[in-house]
């Protein structure tokens, strides 16, 4: 597809997204799209490490929770602005990612994924038993009135949350685009294809894995901080569960890992589907929502393992 056509399509999409909350004024449709933006951003962050570098992490909830808890604790105990908490949360997540990355990057393939699950479970257990951080009871974010951009709280409407979530998503897209076109992007793809061959060519494999992990963790923590300020309550079950890490992974896999647009496409399909199945089947007591959700993922994995983006690329090759 010519570059001009791509930019025209992207500009139209952006205009539609900007106009959405002006047309749909009810809270629920805005909430669904905010959730799509949030998970597209989280999946894009995961994509930097797993899609471009080939390191399949199933413990990204650790970074999400680090961002959520850091910003909330700073607001609760020190009355700092959540925006500053977002930055500090990202720094904390980067520090945690470097501590985790050093031992787990020595593992490969399934062993790496299993190790990230174990790290996630350990951190979850620690947070459940940390009373100063609310323990298993969790924490409420202190309510600030009136609505304030500085305090990142808007009680009258979700419109401001919508635009902030869109801004975070665009930031994740911009960073991924920059990485994709940079030397780092080429090195990460080389590591993904064959890290031994990449090392033999002089690429510092361990250092670039750590950089990818740090960037991915920082973006994930920004998402966690936003989630805490949006929901105004966090506990270990909502921000540290392995299920959250798996959902972030599934969004990227469904859309197409290692691609720029895959996470957004995956989130645009999976999040509304999850919302629909939860509303219509979640209350039956038969877990029908989870069955439908899982069946769709299995079908995509078997029929189109490259995700929706691979299907679109195949269609373009046939028509081109």
pLDDT mean over 164-176? 96
Mean pLDDT rounded to a whole number for the chain: 88
Question: CA–CA separation, 148 vs 195, rounded Å?
Answer: 48
Let me know how long the chain is: 320
Percent of the chain residues topping a pLDDT of 70:
90
Say how far apart CA 202 and CA 182 lie, in whole Å: 17
**pLDDT(7) > 90:** no
Cβ partners under 8 Å of residue 164, min gap 6: 152, 226
pLDDT above 80 for 79: yes
Residue 265 has pLDDT above 80, yes or no: yes
Where residue 68 falls among pLDDT bands split at 50, 70, 90?
very high
Task: Indicate whether 210 pLDDT > 80.
Answer: yes
Average pLDDT over residues 203-229: 96
What is the model's pLDDT at position 9? 83
pLDDT digits (tens, 9 = 90+) for 276-303: 877 776 555 556 666 666 676 677 767 7
Of 5-9, 148-152, 309-313, give the lowest mean pLDDT range.
Answer: 309-313
What is the pLDDT confidence band of residue 158, given thresholds at 50, 70 and 90? very high
- Specify the pTM: 0.92
Q: Which residue has the higher pLDDT, 279 or 64?
A: 64
**Euclidean distance between the first and the last CA atom of the chain, given in angstroms as a whole number:** 9
d(CA 123, CA 78): 24
**Helices and strands (DSSP H and E) totals, the chain:** 14, 2
DSSP state of 143: P
Average pLDDT value for residue range 79-96: 95
Rounded mean pLDDT of 47-76? Answer: 94
Which residue, among 43, 73, 50, 11, has the nearest Cα to 258 in the 3D structure?
A: 50
Place of tokens 């020190």: 78
Residues 205, 195 contacting (CB under 8 angstroms): yes
Per-residue pLDDT averaged across 85-93, rounded?
Answer: 96
């Amino acid at each position: 597809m010519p570059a001009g056509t791509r930019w025209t399509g992207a500009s139209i999409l952006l205009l539609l997204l900007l106009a959405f909350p002006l047309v749909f004024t009810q809270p629920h449709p805005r909430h669904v799209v905010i959730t799509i933006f949030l998970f597209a951003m989280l999946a894009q962050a995961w994509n930097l490490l797993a899609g471009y570098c080939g390191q399949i992490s199933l413990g990204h909830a650790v970074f999400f929770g680090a961002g959520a808890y850091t910003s909330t604790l700073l607001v609760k105990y020190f009355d700092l602005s959540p925006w500053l908490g977002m930055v500090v949360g990202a720094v904390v997540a980067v520090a945690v990612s470097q501590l985790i990355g050093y031992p787990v990057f020595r593992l490969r393939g399934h062993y790496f994924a299993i190790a990230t699950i174990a790290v996630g479970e350990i951190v979850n257990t620690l947070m459940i038993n940390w009373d100063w951080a609310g323990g298993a009871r969790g924490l409420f974010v202190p309510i600030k009135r009136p609505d304030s951009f500085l305090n990142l709280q808007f009680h009258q409407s979700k419109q401001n949350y919508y635009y902030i979530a869109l801004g975070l998503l665009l930031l994740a897209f911009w960073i991924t685009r920059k990485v994709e076109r940079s030397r780092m992007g080429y090195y990460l793809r080389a590591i993904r294809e064959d890290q031994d061959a990449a090392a033999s060519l002089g690429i510092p494999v361990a250092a670039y894995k750590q950089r990818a992990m740090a960037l991915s963790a920082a973006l994930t923590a920004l998402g966690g901080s936003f989630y805490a300020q949006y929901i105004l309550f966090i506990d270990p079950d909502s921000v540290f569960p392995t299920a959250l890490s798996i959902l972030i992974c599934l969004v990227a896999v469904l859309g197409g890992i290692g691609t720029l647009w895959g996470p957004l496409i995956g989130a645009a399909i999976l999040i509304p589907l999850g919302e629909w199945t939860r509303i219509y089947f979640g209350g039956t007591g038969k877990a029908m929502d989870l069955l439908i959700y899982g069946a769709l993922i299995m079908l995509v994995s078997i029929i189109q393992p490259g995700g929706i983006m691979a299907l679109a690329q195949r269609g373009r090759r046939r028509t081109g």
